[in-house]
Amino acid sequence: MDYETVSPEDFGRSLRGLGLNLLVRDVRAHVAFLETVFGMTAHRVSADFAIMEYGDQLFQLHSDGTYHANPLQGLLPENPPRGAGLEIRLYDTDADAAVLRAQGVGATILQPATDKPHGLREAYILCADGYAWVPSGPISEPDKG
């Protein structure tokens, strides 16, 4: 599917499984953050909407204004952190490299890259909209040599 030219109706009908849609204050700024820090690919970027691609996963960004008639709009907090309580885990992203890139764009590092007992090296990066992005990957096994 060509995400740049697909109609909204055809795109909507194509979605399956679990979907993620993040409401953000500034779609273009959020796209720039996701592309820079996590190497994601953006499609159909406008002030109101973007399709984001991470590996073979898709999710959407919508501006607050697109939710003017949606009941969720009334629940958005006036002050950050908007995304409190949500972790967005990116299992195929180098945590150390993502932290360096996030620092370069002024993102908040909640936790630097750390080896965890569950076998992943992960970090917690808070974006401007308050969502916790968690880049992670398997901890390398030591040589048994």
pLDDT in tens, the chain (145 residues): 899 999 988 998 898 888 898 988 899 999 999 999 999 999 999 999 999 999 999 999 998 777 666 655 555 656 556 666 678 999 999 999 999 999 999 999 999 999 999 999 999 999 988 889 999 999 986 666 6
Residue 98: CB atoms within 10 A of its CB come to 26
Q: In what order do the strands lie in the sheet with 41-43?
A: 21-24, 57-63, 49-54, 41-43
The model carries a pTM of 0.83
Q: Compute the distance between CA of residue 62 and CA of residue 54 in angstroms, rounded to an integer.
A: 17
Predicted local confidence at residue 79, as pLDDT: 57
Q: Are 31 and 45 in contact (CB under 8 A)?
A: yes
